[in-house]
Structure 1
Amino acid sequence: MDGPERPGPDADAAEIARWMEEDFGRAVAEGIENAGDENDREVVKVEILNHERGEVVGTIDTDGNLDTESEALRNVSQEYIEEGIPVLVPTTYENENGEAVHADTEVMVKPGTTGFVRAFVDELPSPFDCDPETLADLPAHDEV
């Protein structure tokens, strides 16, 4: 992936800031795309509960494989599996004055990336959820 062309040494602050913003977005996308070799990551699989029924209604894994007979769960999950889930990741960057700025950057967490299962479960509407102890142990997406 090629990034935007770096501004020359005579560029003004606005031009440099615009380049940094464009390059940052490209770097985030590239980092997610190259998020490690599939053989180096652990596949996580969790049970999805329906709290109204008090039963397990399906499972989801790191790769977005949903196993369920629940049409309602399948319907609410389809978009997350196909398009990913937006999550906010804390980031730090330097502004044009050289000051560190702390902000949240929204990234799409897609199947196959670290934190997908946690983001998926967090995004599910009620009555769907997973065991709170399991949720606490799931890796979160924290890479930008």
Structure 2
Amino acid sequence: MADLLDQERRLLFARFDNDDAWRLGSLLVELARERDLPVTVDVRRGEQQLFHYALPGTSADNDAWIERKIRVVRRYGHASYLVGQQFRDQGTSFEAASRLDPDRYAAHGGAFPVLVRGVGPVGTVTVSGLPQLEDHRLVVLAVERFLAEVA
């Protein structure tokens, strides 16, 4: 848990606009292509979808997973993997203990809040298509690289 919380503390954007969403989404697609990963990538600011791309090997099911993961980030203000891990650390599961409709919410890895320094969460960056920890790690890697490039 400490590592997951640390990721959110250090992965802060100075700002986040439409061009940033495009560059971050494109970086994620590039990373996925380099690794031949069948993922769908989604980047949003608020409710607005600014970037969406599905690589070969994905389906509309990935879009549904993205929506469910994003709802968790919006409700809890934390990465979807972190939220799921909090429940696992308590000896239960998100599905069993959250009392939220599992058809609408999924605390599975892959959705990460776009956090702007001094502002807080302004959007989400999400990947779907891999096992949940791998989805989470891919998003974190992309955000780290993006922030290193704009620094």
TM-score range, shorter chain: 0.3 to 0.5
**TM-score, normalization: structure 2?**
0.31
Relative contact order (C-alpha < 8 Å, sep 6+): which is higher?
2
Structure in which a larger fraction of residues adopt strand: 1
**TM-score, normalization: structure 1?**
0.32
Structure in which a larger fraction of residues adopt helix: 2
Q: Highest Rg: 1 or 2?
A: 1
